[in-house]
Structure 1
Amino acid sequence: MVRFNASSYRSKLRSAQSKLRSQRYKIQAAERELRRKARELEEEAKRAKRKLEKL
Structure 2
Amino acid sequence: MIAGVCMGLDAIRPSLAVHKEPGLRSAAGYTPLEFRDALHALADGVLEAEIY
Which is greater in Rg? 1
TM-score, normalising length from structure 2?
0.30
TM-score, normalising length from structure 1?
0.29
| Greater share of helix | 1
